[in-house]
Structure formats: structure tokens, C-alpha cells
Structure 1
Amino acid sequence: MPTPPFSPPAPSITISIVSHGQLALVLPLLAQLDLHCRAVTAKVVLTLNIPEPDLLAGRSWGFEVERIANASPKGFGANHNQAFSRCASPWFLVLNPDIRLDSDVLTPLLAQAAADAGLLTPRILEPGKAEPEPHRALLTPLEIVSRNKPGYVRPRVPAWIPGLFMLFRSDAYRQVSGFDERFFMYGEDFDICARTRLAGWKLQVAEDLVARHDAQRESHRSKKYLYWHVTSLLKVWGSGAFWRYWRLGS
């Protein structure tokens, strides 16, 4: 019996990348997406959150790059919600500019997706680390002060997925109305994970796939970013979604 011809995967992912004066970081990411993930990339929505020199002029990739130039800066969630309004594909990927891909992680990630998985991610490797980042436990004050102490046990299944690489099923993103725009920066990734789980979708991690993070630790260096981080945590702990999610896992 003859072998059926190979059917390449359909371009089924819209990718949202937001640049805060970071086009120099975005360029190698676009090149890696083009090299490794072109077959499944429907288009990239690139949001320029602040004015910056056009480093993309004259360049082209094997997919459309739709640019949005904000008249004034928006928060993390507002930018990605805006990008999702341009999404006509079954999957929507929120991707940091400083993610790096050494191979195609998107095609196998889609192949592994369970029918009830609303949000997927590979394992993330931080600079200088030999092992991927451990899974995240429920974000509580006690967890934050305990996570670096001896004897702390990381969960085998994550309670939430960091916002640097979040592959949403578009139906799930639409059902939870995307990111909560009351969060300007930080906290919105935990919040959307909680609301996705409360809506009946699962969070799925591909344990055999890895993406690298060229981490930009602004909250460790800037009082402004640290302020946003702390105030976002307070918003998380004051939200109804947090307490419903806490009860779900308790």
C-alpha cells in the first residue's frame, strides 16, 4: 500500500509580541520563528508600545508581521488583548521578545495538546541554569517567602504559567475575556491562569520541550518595576478569582 503524501501542519497560531523599545531583541526571535516554526505561524502581531527606530524596514519573513504602534503605552494585558482582536486562528501565543528558540517547539506543542487544554507551554530555561524553571505553586504570601527556603517542595503540576510563553486555545482566551486590564504589569499571568482553570480548561506543560529565556530582570533593578510588581500582587490577593482558585486546589 503506498505511503500517503506528507501533509504539513496548517498555520494555526497567531503570535503576539510586544516591544518596549526592544526591537533589537525581537529581530532574532522573528528569525528563529521563521527558521523553525514558519509552518504553524499564521501571523505575528508586533505591538510597538513606545516609539522606537524601525529596525524591521526592508525585512521579510515567511509569515505576515502586522505592526501596531500605540499612541500611548498600554499595559501587558491590554496590549495582548488588542493583538487578540487581530487573531483569526485557533491558537494565540503570547511571547516575550527575549524568548529564544533553538528548534521547533510549536508544532510538537500543538501535537501534544489535550482536548481540554486551554493553555500550553514548554519548559523554560533561564540563563546560566542547567535545568528548566520549576513549576509554580499557588501564588500566596506564604509561598513567596518559602520558595527559597530548605525543604520547599515544588509542585509536580503547575498552578500557573508565567506570561513569557503562553499558548492559548483561542476559544479559551475568548471565554475568559483575555487578560484583566486592571493589571498594568505583573500578576495578570497568574490571574488568567486561575480564570482559565475555573472555566474548566487545563494548563498543560510539555515536559520534553524547552525554550530559552534571555531574562530581563527589570523588577530587580528599578523601583518603578518593583512598585508595579508589589501592587499587582496585592490586586491578585484581593481578587475573587484568586480565592475561588485557592478553594479549587485546597
Structure 2
Amino acid sequence: VTKEPIPVLPTVHYNMGGIPTNYHGEVLTLRDGNPDSVVPGLMAVGEAACVSVHGANRLGSNSLTDLVVFGRAAGLRCGEVVDKASAVPSASKSQTDAHLARLDRFRHASGSTPTAHLRLDMQRAMQSDAAVFRTGKTLEEGVAKLRSIDAAGADIKTTDRGLIWNTDLMETLEYDNLIAQAVVTVEGALNRTESRGAHAREDYPDRDDANWMKHTLAWKRPGEGVQIDYRPVHKYTMTDEVAYIEPKARVY
């Protein structure tokens, strides 16, 4: 800052969306045709969750709703479903072995591409192709780039093999989480051919409630491509005192 101005780029403050939950904070998934199937024992709150109280999480001024209202609801639900007198069950060996294997795979990764290089490529691709100004062309380019970067992770390299204050390993684990989110984000954006909230496409500038009044669900499993499905927007309230409010376009 003492030599020259800091470059400022338009970017993304947040992406609306998150882990789908009910109003108890219990995570939902699409299972056997039921889009509201609860995942036992798994909860999400705050900006990580999509309670869908606004249609999609979140409106910029209402993050406290996500944290305070639904955080409290999650705590109350825990009090209802958790048996305080029961013993904490042990994780199965297959689960713990899988997590330890992932940690050791990255700790001993001996490819030729440092994590920092892959992370920078990911950041540049997302900044270039999936930030504020979106078109089908840029999103298609972003999908191609991020699929390539994701595949390049097979050649990832770490240098610190230690287990004490291993920032190299931590950054690699963080990158592995981020690249999955990046691929899901850009593929979901390309798939949604409309503009809605923070998702603004110049080639599809209008909202399309007839075709896109639904939530995108996405799965990204290791070694596989992104799988996309949908869950409906619930058009009802939980009381007779308040009518369902029809969605409206944001206009200024």
C-alpha cells in the first residue's frame, strides 16, 4: 500500500444455498422420491444451511435469522431426539479408516503439482467465469476449467509429512473441500438458465418461475462428476394465521 494502489476486483460476497435442512436444522436429502428425507444425526445451521425461509438462504440482512432462530431450533431439536442417558456410540471402523486414509493420502502426496498452484488455478477460474457477470459461454468455460483442475488433483504434492502444525496438510485438505464446492457451484450455475437473486446471467436476465421455481440438489463424489437433481419449493405455511406469500422479483 505504500508503493501502489491495491487492485480491487468485483467478486462474490456470498452464494445463496447450502446444506438443505428443515426448520429444526435437520439435514434433508432426496431419498426414494422423498425430497424431505431426514439424514439421522446430521444438522446444519447458519450460512452453511439452506432452511429456505427466504426461498433460498440467504438474504443479506437476515443472517441472524439463520443463526439465532434456527440455531436455537436446532438446539431444541437435539434436546428432543438425543437420549442424554445413552452412551455415545463409537464410529464404525470403516468410517474412521476412510478418514485416516484420506489424511494420510494427502500427507504423503508425492505428485508434481503443489497445492498452492491448484488453489490459484481454482481461484482464477472461479473469479473469471463464475463471479458477478455470468453468461452461458463463461460458465461453460468455467466448467471445463474446473473439471480439469479437479482431475489435476490426482497429481497433488505436499512436502510436510509431519503431524505437528502441518499447514501444508491443512491447506491441502481445505483445497480438497473447496474444489468440490467450486465444481458444484459452477455446474449448478450453468444448469440454471435464468437469473434469480445473486445468480445473474446476462444471457438469461429474467426469472423463470415456470421452470426454475425449485431448489438445485447436487452431489459430488470422489472420482465422479457432479450429479444434479431438484427438490420443490414448499408453497405453504405452518399456520392458518399467515397466508403463503407468493414470490416476487427483486426490483428497484
Specify the TM-score bucket, using the shorter chain as the normaliser. under 0.3
Greater share of helix residues, 1 or 2?
2
Greater share of strand residues, 1 or 2?
1
